[in-house]
Structure 1
Amino acid sequence: MSAAYPFSAIVGLADLRLALVLNAVSPAVGGVLVRGEKGTAKSTMVRALASQLPEVAVVPGCRFSCEPVRPDEHCPDGPHDPAVGGVSRPARLVELPVGASEDRLAGSLDIERALTEGVKAYEPGLLAAAHRGVLYVDEVNLLHDHLVDLLLDAAAMGTSHVEREGVSVRHAARFLLVGTMNPEEGELRPQLLDRFGLTVEVAASREPRERAEVVRRRLAYEADPDGFAARWADEDAALAGRILAARKVLAEVRLPDAELERIARVCASFEVDGMRADLVTARTSIALAAWHGRTEVTAEDVRQAALLALPHRRRRNPFDAPGLDEALLDEALRDPEEPEPEPEPEGDGPDGGGEPPAGSDGSDGSERSDGADRSDGSDGSDGSAGQGSKPTEAAPSSAPGTEDAPVSGAPAGSDGGREQAAVAAAEPYRTRLFAVPGVGQGAAGRRSRARTASGRTTGAQVAAGRVTRLHVAATVRAAALHQKARGRTGAGLLLRRTDLREAVREGREGNLVLFVVDASGSMAARKRMQAVKGAVLSLLLDAYQRRDKVGLVTFRGAGASLALPPTSSVEIGAARLAALPTGGRTPVGAGLLRAHETLRVERLRDPLRRPLLVVVTDGRATGGRDALGESRRAARLLAAGGVASLVVDCESGPVRLGLAARLAGDLGGPVVTLDELAAEGLAGLVRDVRSVA
């Protein structure tokens, strides 16, 4: 087996390096979440961390890594005699695959042997293997909900508890949790996000020399892994020694009251929930002081700790990425008794102040000219062609009584030949649950009914393989019929393998919600498009909460395009929606055909995830001699494939053609108007969608 890539040989990524080292110094910090684009050496650095961790002393032969001095009293391999002593071994790095089963993570009890032989047989899982080491989850944001729940319980309690039909096992499970993720693939559940002590954003360097050095070292490693590791062995050994020295200093580090109050003031100013942020920031500050060989925490330690511990804990909207404004942080860190900083010297303009920069309204640069706050460090762009202000602010305002006229000034109901700038969405609102009919078997989520590993028990079935979810009543009933033939004479029940019945459980699954949005000229009315975007944004927010995948198809002009391939990142969906312009003809058929192709490809990738098609249009098909016929044929093609769908009718005005309702009939799904969406928040969609067979 070739040597792992050396920790010291990794180029750049100073924040990630520091966060991992601080956790190695003080495991009480609580782990690291690494967010960043693919190909940035996230996994390489985490895997290299194991070689820097000090060795651990364990009880010989214990599968649960018990400490020799203080063995776990609940250890399944116990009891252990402290007088026996221990042996040292390297700390483990245990990887949790995204598709792992519950039994693989927590361990499993052999129910069959327990019932038929009376043996309490337990097979340890990954939580047991990671005890006193590192548990690494790559693509942690894609982890199934039932595994997330197990991780949350273990991280909170420091123990893993496995129970199956009255037979239970408990063991210690204290580990350093490290997760990596690509934000483009979706965000983490807030509960799990808060369990990570620190968070770090990583990105590839844009400096050519640094990038060249990364490639140079990687090629050298691939050519001779052992020789490359040997060249960096001294640096790695020195780093491991420094970590060990910092651990010894850790207990002597003092956190002065002034710095503790500074930590509390910072956490309060960012309105973090609960007290975990204060504790993590304090522990990180202490670890920083120990890492630098000091025995007292300083204000700079607190600042650096806050930059690592608070970005993912501040209050934010669901579609906002974690982040921390350093100017606000410095203001919160400032001692109230300190004098205000001296203002910047004014320019030498005629009124004592400098001339405002070109294009500004005289502001100091902290706000955009449209009044929107820029304290989050953004560049003012919302994804629409790099404009510095919101497109709706740039568009001419409508005169009273003409809010629903097309932005371009084209007559209402026309195709609006010119492309119009994107308008902002209306405020999102809470939607009612709507689900795909039937019972699926897809990934765990919170939308449609599905057969799942967890949930309420709805029946029993003959066990096909190893029994993990025993249905006791059904098993007893199956065995009762054969007791006389088996010669039972005592009080005990005589069981055979064929008697065992497994529980059938029903929970909820996540779906693929594919939006097909009409962006043609007939939709370009300012008020109408704002309402349409507000409705879709509300559904995106609902998809985020219910752990769905989302996709976005738009059609306008000459055809349709897949604006957002199916993904778990609803944040990207919201951004693409905000930048969506309108104008041109209405190729409804092209949009539906693109949706059909998208669903076909996605079904090959993930055959168990059931789709829900949401078509947002006024139904006016234009763009060809038989545009209406083409749209109806495409709709019937989707219906024939069993795709559950609904149509949001955006038609407005005194005269309505009912084309969207006809389209919904061809799709075999319900139709709801924009007015109904705004008034009821999709109240009728649950029963309407479920009524579709």
Structure 2
Amino acid sequence: MSDLPYPFTAIVGMADLRLGLLLNAVSPAVGGVLVRGEKGTAKSTMVRALAGLLPSIATVPGCRFACDPAAADPQCPDGPHAPQPAEQRPAHLVELPVGVSEDRIVGSLDLERALAEGVKAYEPGLLAKAHRGVLYIDEVNLLQDHVVDLLLDAAAMGRSYVEREGVSVRHAARFLLVGTMNPEEGELRPQLLDRFGLTVEIAATRDPDERAEVVRRRLAYDADPAGFAARYADDERALAERITAARELLPKVALTDLALRQITAVCAAFEVDGLRADIVMARTAVALAAWDGRTEVAEEDVRRAARLALPHRRRRNPFDAPGLDEEQLDRTLAEHSEPSGPDEDPGQPLDQDPDGDGDDDGPGDGGPGGGGGAPAPGDAPDGAAAAQSEPAPEAGVPPQGTGGGAKAPVAAAGDPYRTRLFKVPGTGKGAQGRRSPAETDGGHTVRARRPQGALHRLHLSATLRAAAPHQLARGRDSRALVLHRDDFREQVRQGRESNLVLFVVDASGSMAARQRMTAVKGAVMSLLMDAYQRRDKIGMITFRGSAAELALPPTSSVEVGAARLEQLPTGGRTPLAAGLLRAHEVLRVERMRDPHRRPLLMVVTDGRATGGRDALAQAGRAAGLLAGQGVASVVLDCESGPVRLGLARTLAAQLRASAVTLDELRADGVTALVHAHRTASYDRKAA
């Protein structure tokens, strides 16, 4: 592969992404771009191509932290800087790998030299290299939590801090943050999502001519990168000059009171959290005017700024797709297209519902282009309403099959709620998350041990205790402590890990009886939301009719799991053993792929099993197979009605798992139970 980047002006289509990147090149204060799209859409190619268009920066010669000679950082580790001629260099594009370590991001101190020799040796990290440039993160949604925390701190304060046993280093770290992600692999933490100024949704074009042109240019580039770049050199130069001109014009652009009122009205109408959206929209609108060569923000600038800055800030819950209702945007801008007159009520709220129906969400809620979006998780799909109005099949109704024949009914999910926390017993070593105890890079220190590889987290007191008994034998003759390599101890920290939560959902006719499936889907949806918040990987197996199906292979995209659950049909017999055996096979494969990620099996069933006289015995043997491998399990007992057989609790005993009813699943239900118990105790004591 050539070292020459693909020319920015040679990329076909993707106007929104092109504009979002160029606006940030004009005004880095906009806050960066998050690029969401399917794989193979040239997201990374376009971001890397942007670096060649950025104006060069002036730096202090020899400064590893890119200090600006006109305003040098007084806390720069390479400072203080004496006045000297500036050095011009290109702005850096720094790529942050998904599996990057904490020391690689913020830099590292050589603790052994610091303690043994008294030398403070600091090696700058990627944040220092990205200062005044671009920090690019491919697959940003896959970053571990402790890395996200570091980025949030740097983005919020514009500085990077390194603290190691009383030794402090800090330096400026202001950069243009650009991230790309495939939504199918999971979403971003809300805090990091909000730090991106703009977001762009992209997809591969469906136009055959455009696709042919993309392939044609790519093949030409691969065959002769230098010649291909030369053909676009004039276009690249002209675009770079336009960026420079827009930067020079930017301070002269006026944000009128009318434009500012439109911006705040739009943000209020779409009910975005906080005021960051208003600020980002204002900066984006000013950058758009400068990019077009104008000195005053127009209504169209506000409209385009809203399409880029608001979609990812409108999500009300983790399963909402980002999007913007174009009709609502047009209405709001039209209502505030003229300055306030003397007859206008100054107390009228900016977010008043224009059509009076109390609903801010229009029918076209979709991506930034305004196309129809997917239904919200709480809404029933087209066939769900009809399914709810039809009587659900009772247990014993002939199976409708898993394919062909009459269409199985689909029940809508009930409203999600906060659930109890289920953990995997013991201490793991999986990826950082928020569910089960594990040894992690973050968390609190629980013990010390000899370093395993390079020393990163010194345990000072344990190191001193290890060295103290040997000082006389080592001939210590001064106040300096004589340390050997074997004396050093590192911290072992305990935090929380993410797990693989595998759902095994009974979708048979017995579950559909008495509209039970609506409550069951609401419970599973609530558990999915809990898995999203705890950064888990999830999978889903469903069983009905005559077989079990892997409805969702293990993935980080909880949104896909929610969509599959919404469309899950019910009816037919109950092949419980097949569902458990399929879970055993899925977990076996995942154990080979990721041996450190511990599984949590969630079996959602009423415990019934059909398929022969010994169906329950077969299910018991399958449960014993899972229990014998030490799989942590929870059985969600969905049995209801006055007469209960207790089959789900029998299954839980065979799995060596706990059994939880739908009522017991709710976190607020458990809290109320504890509160009632305490109140009763106090009343008895008072009596």
Is TM more than 0.5 here?
yes
| Secondary structure of residue in 1 paired with 2:543 | strand
| Secondary structure of residue in 2 paired with 1:324 | coil
Correspondence for 1:194: 194
Q: How many angstroms apart in 2 are the aligned matches of 1:620 and 1:163?
A: 57
Structure 1 stretches (4+) deviating beyond 6 angstroms? 682-686
| Secondary structure of residue in 2 paired with 1:564 | strand
Correspondence for 2:413: 425
Contact 1:285 1:301 in 2 (8 A): yes
Equivalent of residue 552 in structure 1, options 531, 535, 540: 540
Correspondence for 1:176: 176
Q: How many angstroms apart in 2 are the aligned matches of 1:636 and 1:373?
A: 51
Deviation at 1:530, TM superposition (A): 0.9
Does residue 1:42 correspond to 2:47, yes or no? Answer: no
Correspondence for 1:349: none
Deviation at 1:678, TM superposition (A): 5.7
Equivalent of residue 391 in structure 1, options 374, 383, 388: 383
| Secondary structure of residue in 2 paired with 1:566 | strand
Equivalent of residue 392 in structure 2, options 393, 399, 407: 407
| 1:51-130 equivalences in 2 (<5 Å) | 51-82=52-83, 84-130=84-130
Contact 2:259 2:298 in 1 (8 A): yes
| Secondary structure of residue in 2 paired with 1:395 | helix
Correspondence for 2:138: 138
Q: Structure 2 vs 1, CA of residues 391 and 182 (structure 1 numbering), >3 Å: closer, same or farther? A: same
Does residue 1:486 correspond to 2:474, yes or no? Answer: yes
| Secondary structure of residue in 2 paired with 1:481 | helix
Contact 1:510 1:609 in 2 (8 A): yes
Q: Structure 2 vs 1, CA of residues 256 and 7 (structure 1 numbering), >3 Å: closer, same or farther? A: same
Deviation at 1:483, TM superposition (A): 1.6
Deviation at 1:420, TM superposition (A): 3.0
Q: How many angstroms apart in 2 are the aligned matches of 1:397 and 1:207?
A: 42
Deviation at 1:297, TM superposition (A): 1.0
**Superposed CA offset, 1:577-604 (max 9, x none):** 0100011111111111111111111122
Q: Structure 2 vs 1, CA of residues 127 and 678 (structure 1 numbering), >3 Å: closer, same or farther? A: closer
| Secondary structure of residue in 2 paired with 1:458 | strand
Deviation at 1:466, TM superposition (A): 2.0
Q: How many angstroms apart in 2 are the aligned matches of 1:221 and 1:258?
A: 47
Deviation at 1:336, TM superposition (A): 3.9
Does residue 1:476 correspond to 2:464, yes or no? Answer: yes
Please give the root-mean-square deviation of Cα atoms over the aligned residues, in Å: 2.5
Deviation at 1:338, TM superposition (A): 5.3
Correspondence for 1:27: 28
Deviation at 1:397, TM superposition (A): 3.5
Correspondence for 2:161: 161
Contact 1:586 1:623 in 2 (8 A): yes
**Superposed CA offset, 1:337-383 (max 9, x none):** 759xxxxxxxxxxxxxxxxxxxxxxxxx999xxxx962525758759
| 1:574-589 equivalences in 2 (<5 Å) | 574-589=562-577
Q: How many angstroms apart in 1 are the aligned matches of 2:98 and 2:666?
A: 39
Deviation at 1:652, TM superposition (A): 2.7
Contact 1:366 1:374 in 2 (8 A): no
Correspondence for 2:11: 10
Q: Structure 2 vs 1, CA of residues 682 and 208 (structure 1 numbering), >3 Å: closer, same or farther? A: farther
Contact 1:443 1:510 in 2 (8 A): yes
| Secondary structure of residue in 2 paired with 1:251 | helix
Q: How many angstroms apart in 1 are the aligned matches of 2:410 and 2:33?
A: 38
Correspondence for 2:343: none
**Superposed CA offset, 1:166-198 (max 9, x none):** 111111111100000011111111100110010
Q: How many angstroms apart in 2 are the aligned matches of 1:120 and 1:289?
A: 48
Q: How many angstroms apart in 1 are the aligned matches of 2:290 and 2:666?
A: 57
Q: Structure 2 vs 1, CA of residues 626 and 518 (structure 1 numbering), >3 Å: closer, same or farther? A: same
Q: Structure 2 vs 1, CA of residues 518 and 683 (structure 1 numbering), >3 Å: closer, same or farther? A: farther
Correspondence for 2:277: 277
Q: Structure 2 vs 1, CA of residues 649 and 564 (structure 1 numbering), >3 Å: closer, same or farther? A: same
| Secondary structure of residue in 1 paired with 2:155 | helix
| Secondary structure of residue in 1 paired with 2:252 | coil
**Superposed CA offset, 1:134-173 (max 9, x none):** 0000010111000000001111111111011111111111
| Secondary structure of residue in 1 paired with 2:470 | coil
Does residue 1:376 correspond to 2:369, yes or no? Answer: no
How high is the TM-score relative to the length of structure 2? 0.90
Correspondence for 1:286: 286
Equivalent of residue 499 in structure 1, options 487, 492, 510: 487
Q: How many angstroms apart in 2 are the aligned matches of 1:684 and 1:118?
A: 58
**What is the letter of the counterpart of residue 567 of structure 2?**
A
Contact 1:383 1:575 in 2 (8 A): no
Correspondence for 2:654: 666
Deviation at 1:493, TM superposition (A): 2.5
**What is the letter of the counterpart of residue 150 of structure 2?**
L
**Superposed CA offset, 1:359-415 (max 9, x none):** xxxxxx999xxxx9625257587599xx995434213637xxxxxxx613x4x4556
Q: How many angstroms apart in 1 are the aligned matches of 2:6 and 2:90?
A: 17
**Superposed CA offset, 1:67-104 (max 9, x none):** 1222221111122112x212211111110011000011
How high is the TM-score relative to the length of structure 1? 0.89
Q: Structure 2 vs 1, CA of residues 633 and 683 (structure 1 numbering), >3 Å: closer, same or farther? A: farther
**What is the letter of the counterpart of residue 472 of structure 1?**
L
Correspondence for 2:638: 650
Contact 1:58 1:87 in 2 (8 A): yes
Q: Share of identical aligned residues, percent?
A: 70
Q: How many angstroms apart in 1 are the aligned matches of 2:290 and 2:365?
A: 32
Deviation at 1:653, TM superposition (A): 3.3
Q: Structure 2 vs 1, CA of residues 288 and 338 (structure 1 numbering), >3 Å: closer, same or farther? A: closer
Q: How many angstroms apart in 2 are the aligned matches of 1:234 and 1:142?
A: 38
| 1:612-691 equivalences in 2 (<5 Å) | 612-624=600-612, 626-677=614-665, 681=669
**Superposed CA offset, 1:187-234 (max 9, x none):** 111100110010000011111111111111111111111111111111
Contact 2:419 2:667 in 1 (8 A): no
**Superposed CA offset, 1:609-639 (max 9, x none):** 1110000111211124542232222111111
Contact 1:432 1:683 in 2 (8 A): no
| Secondary structure of residue in 1 paired with 2:113 | helix
Q: How many angstroms apart in 1 are the aligned matches of 2:193 and 2:373?
A: 27
Q: Which moved more, 1:18-27 or 1:252-261?
A: 252-261
**What is the letter of the counterpart of residue 510 of structure 1?**
S
Contact 2:388 2:411 in 1 (8 A): no
Count of aligned residue pairs for this structure pair: 646
